[in-house]
Amino acid sequence: MQLFGIPNCSTVKKARDWLAEHGLAYEFHDFKKNGISQPLLENWLTQTPWEKLINRAGMTWRQLSEAEKSAVVDKNTAIELMLNKSSVIKRPILVKNGKIVCLGFSETAYKEQL
């Protein structure tokens, strides 16, 4: 399994703690250090809509100008934004065998999926 996010995000910390408490091994992918690739984003967008992959409640989104926000209108413009500002991606993203298992963290969802 892979867990994608940024280490100082409180929601990512909750997910990492939960996985550790349940003895589940995973590889952590830090968006800040390792970035994100267009092919990976395109893969994810075959599994979930771009509107769910962008975290509109997060600080990165809120700090965008109105012009930047209104420019995100489809998959391609969403990918462009996520490539330029990876912290706008909803996190954590838990992936197993190339498939998104959970988007965000919910103890209930993790229990059900894992």
Average pLDDT of span 106-111? 93
Q: Is the pLDDT of residue 32 over 90?
A: no
Helix, coil or strand: residue 56: coil
pLDDT(55) > 90? yes
- In whole angstroms, give the CA distance from residue 112 to residue 108: 6
Which among 9, 12, 95, 103 is annotated as catalytic? 9
Q: Enumerate domains of the chain plus CATH numbers.
A: 2-113 (3.40.30.10)
pLDDT tens digits, 59-90: 999 999 999 999 999 999 999 999 999 999 99
User: What pTM was computed for the model?
Assistant: 0.91
9: annotated active-site residue: yes
